[in-house]
Chains A and B, each alone.
Chain A
């Protein structure tokens, strides 16, 4: 079945540092890939997505590229802020199948 693997963290960075959160997946067919973010005490919000190979999703300075050859969808941001502290979930969706989430990566950004 489909699955998602991501680094579990926690990840602690200083403000303005570069962020990478790795995500790899296993799926049949051509899934859509997503990153969700969960701020403390809130629900999950869609951060970005990519629906086909080589697509780049981007939002709020975050980027991720759908790499079919390496089955990866790594999340990156060039300069993190304290306000980026949250839990980040990688996920995939295939037509007719339930969503599959990774375990989440907690990011803490220190001033």
Chain B
């Protein structure tokens, strides 16, 4: 099925470990982004990309890196996990930014850092 695929769905990390959250879309969308969702905080933008080779910071970028080597993939890297990064992470894509079609979201990755 066409859409946004996130892996893994669940992950437990120890403080200081690193990992990569994977995101792939098969809709040829230019724009991709990563959000985190925390209770009472709504959705907060971490990083976004307007196309392959172009990334930029969102509202809460610290502790996260991204790259966009292809149109399809937009991985999110946690460099040294901290308990404050315990959250649900959503990847989303859109064509193009500000377009009338809105975002398509992945099903999320629930991350716990202990």
**A interface residues (Cβ-Cβ under 8 A, vs B):** 32, 34, 36, 42-46, 49, 51, 89, 91, 93-99, 101-104
Q: How many A-B residue pairs have CB under 8 A?
A: 60
**Is B75 on the interface with A (CB-CB < 8 A)?**
no
Identity of the chain B residue whose Cβ is nearest the Cβ of A48 in the assembled complex: B102
Q: How many residues of B contact A (CB 8 A)?
A: 20
Contact across chains for A99 and B108 when beta carbons are under 8 A apart = no
What distance in Å separates the Cβ of B68 from its nearest Cβ neighbour in chain A? 16
Contact across chains for A51 and B42 when beta carbons are under 8 A apart = no
A95 to B45, CA, bound (A): 17
Contact across chains for B97 and A98 when beta carbons are under 8 A apart = yes
**Is B53 on the interface with A (CB-CB < 8 A)?**
no
Known: A43-B90, A43-B107, A43-B108. A101 touches B102 (CB 8 A): no
- Contact residues, B68-114 vs A (CB, 8 A): 90, 92, 94, 97-100, 102-108
